[in-house]
Structure 1
Amino acid sequence: MSEADTSPARRSIGATRNPASQEAILAAAEAVLLENGLGGFSIEAVARRARAGKPTIYRWWPSQAALLLDVYHSRKKAGFNYPDKGNVREDLRAYVTGLLETWEGTNGAIFRSVVAKAQGEPEALAALSAYMADRRCQSGRIIEKAQARGEVRADVRPELVTEILSSFAWGRLLTERLDVSDAEVDAVVDTVLAGIVAKPAG
């Protein structure tokens, strides 16, 4: 019997997440997904690997998709944020590049798994939709700041702009074409900017 098998089960502290147990469960979920694939992923397997109770996992994460989204979010590159370079073109370039870089390797595999589950499971779709709504709200601030600087027209919908750009990155993620050149990023950003920039006075 392995050391993991003889170790005591991790103790939960009820509805409040125990940081050590939370990290163990997230690490176990990532390992189970990467070793067994989406078809072999289950809460039971995660519970065994993390030495945690299934009720604890379900109390903290109501679905597999919610757990996988938390794994994804916790493993995102620490340096990824919503840029504020004072110039809308550079902000949007950094936004697209940051998404593509974040989805390289393990993070991309985890996020693809969440998207795949959302195609056939209402709970997964709800979790993904809520997550993406929050991301759109945050990324839309890039355009809101550009509007405040007078770079982007006031009638432009901020969240729609970043959704268009993230859709480009999504397409590359789902078809495993994340090796995007700087020239391609420039072309995508400039195409979008052409339709939203404010016209010079006069």
Structure 2
Amino acid sequence: MPQKTTKSTPAKPRSRSSIGAVRSPQSTEAILEAAAAILEEQGYRAFTMDALVERAGSSKPTIYRWWRSKGALLRDVYERTALTFVTSPDTGNLEQDLIEHLRSLWSWWRSSSAGETLRSVFIEIQLDSKAIAEFREEFLPRRERTLRKIFARAVSAGEIVDGPAVEVAVSMLTGMSWLHLVTANLDNLDDIDNSVAVIVKGLRVR
């Protein structure tokens, strides 16, 4: 008499969410990718943890274990793509390098969800002193890295002299750009050219 065969039940797929405080690279990427997709498709107003959990197939405990706040998560979403879309030109001319870099930054902000994401970070950290300190001491220096690299090349080439004025120039260009971002005024690219021209002229004065 033939033996009766039984059909085995397929194993339930394991959740991408890892247990413990150590991040799983696969889970981290899935969460950041899902967050970026929500922001791109529906905007900041639709960005909730419930929507993210559903989209990423993760859980709230996992998300809050890896990101202490919504602002921290948004910051990582922003930085995930910044290096891909923002150029770091090296034309041999300080003024041209600054203009090309800032124009690429503004274009990225304007043409994707990146601008709204960064504005959302500003919103989320306002009442959190720890988040503001982290933003000032860690996030801001990373975001100014390309500007500092451009100025450092100009110093090495003898185009400008190193000193406190370079730090001021970095702050002025960052502040000018973020002012245009928060006021949704990213179309007037002449503001970049004019600001860069004034700053570079000042730096070149011996």
C-alpha deviation, 1:70, in angstroms: 0.8
Say whether the 8 Å CA contact 2:15–2:57 is kept in structure 1: yes
Superposition pairs of residues 120-135 of structure 1, within 5 angstroms? 120-129=127-136, 130-135=138-143
C-alpha deviation, 1:74, in angstroms: 1.4
Choose from 155, 158, 173 the match for 1:150.
158
The superposition leaves residues 146-169 of structure 1 with CA deviations (integer Å, 9 ceiling, x where unpaired) of 111111123344333122112111
The DSSP-based 3-state class of the residue aligned with 1:109 is helix
C-alpha deviation, 1:53, in angstroms: 2.4
Whole-Å separation in 1 of the counterparts to 2:44 and 2:163 = 45
Whole-Å separation in 1 of the counterparts to 2:131 and 2:95 = 34
Whether 1:111 and 2:111 are equivalent positions in the alignment is: no
Give 1:116's aligned amino acid: I
Whole-Å separation in 1 of the counterparts to 2:86 and 2:185 = 20
How many residue pairs end up in the alignment? 192
Greater mean deviation of Cα atoms: 23-32 or 11-20: 11-20
Whether 1:188 and 2:195 are equivalent positions in the alignment is: yes
Partner of 1:71: 77
C-alpha deviation, 1:174, in angstroms: 0.6
Whole-Å separation in 1 of the counterparts to 2:90 and 2:19 = 39
Whether 1:93 and 2:99 are equivalent positions in the alignment is: yes
C-alpha deviation, 1:14, in angstroms: 4.3
The DSSP-based 3-state class of the residue aligned with 2:158 is coil
C-alpha deviation, 1:185, in angstroms: 2.3
TM-score scaled by structure 1? Answer: 0.80
| Structure showing greater Rg | 2
Q: CA RMSD in A?
A: 2.6
TM-score scaled by structure 2? Answer: 0.79
Choose from 162, 183, 203 the match for 1:175.
183
Percent identity over the alignment is 34
Whether 1:84 and 2:90 are equivalent positions in the alignment is: yes
Partner of 2:4: none
Whole-Å separation in 2 of the counterparts to 1:125 and 1:26 = 21
Q: 1:192 to 1:56 in 2, by over 3 A?
A: same
